[in-house]
A = this chain, B = another copy of it.
């Protein structure tokens, strides 16, 4: 048993989810190290035995939180799953902005927040990396669709363009975060879209 972290009962699944949800919410605001296991359990109403029943250690919990973040992020930008036109790309950027316009919490990407702290943790860094790659792959797939439909130049590289778009999203969110001002993200997305349109066919 290496991975552990399974729940075989509906009740167990609910408890496990509650722990991950509480951890995700707390770590979004206070960071990984700033969120103790005890706080997570207090917030989720679970006991310590549950936590260590489902997770080998805190690191593994953080791993589950990273997965949860990816789910939340993609769930907040559903247009990314069906990108097939330039209008869809605009819709996608609008969804991205809307998430943070209705922001209750801080303006920030939960994965981006983790990136600095988790940085070079040998167990966690690959998980963050993978999450970003998954996110980006949806973008790349959409751009490939556009290219196949002849709306994007045949020599355009969807993977590379997708990475460029991701850098804009992340940079824009980072600046918007520390400035408490969405303008940085709006501009960054505008520039990214303009750049992509440069490959319009």
Q: Contact partner of A113 among B119, B160, B191, CB < 8 A?
A: B119
List chain B residues, Cβ under 8 A from A195.
Answer: 191, 194-195
Looking at the assembled complex, report how far the CB atom of A200 sits from the nearest CB atom of chain B, in whole angstroms.
16
CB nearest to A190 among chain B residues: B164
Contacting residues of chain A (53-87) with chain B, CB-CB under 8 angstroms? none
* Copies of this subunit: 2
B174 lies within 8 A of A188 (CB): no
A29 lies within 8 A of B119 (CB): yes
A31 lies within 8 A of B171 (CB): no
In the complex, A183→B166 CA distance in Å? 13
Looking at the assembled complex, report how far the CB atom of A155 sits from the nearest CB atom of chain B, in whole angstroms.
16
We find that the number of chain A residues with CB closer than 8 angstroms to chain B is 42
Asked if A167 is at the interface of the complex by the 8 Å CB criterion, the answer is yes
Asked if A172 is at the interface of the complex by the 8 Å CB criterion, the answer is yes
Looking at the assembled complex, report how far the CB atom of A151 sits from the nearest CB atom of chain B, in whole angstroms.
20
List chain B residues, Cβ under 8 A from A106.
Answer: 119-120
List chain B residues, Cβ under 8 A from A128.
Answer: 178
In the complex, A108→B29 CA distance in Å? 22
Asked if A179 is at the interface of the complex by the 8 Å CB criterion, the answer is yes
Residues of A within 8 A of B (CB): 29-34, 106, 108, 112-117, 119-120, 125, 128-129, 132, 160, 163-164, 166-172, 174-175, 177-179, 183-184, 187-188, 191, 194-195
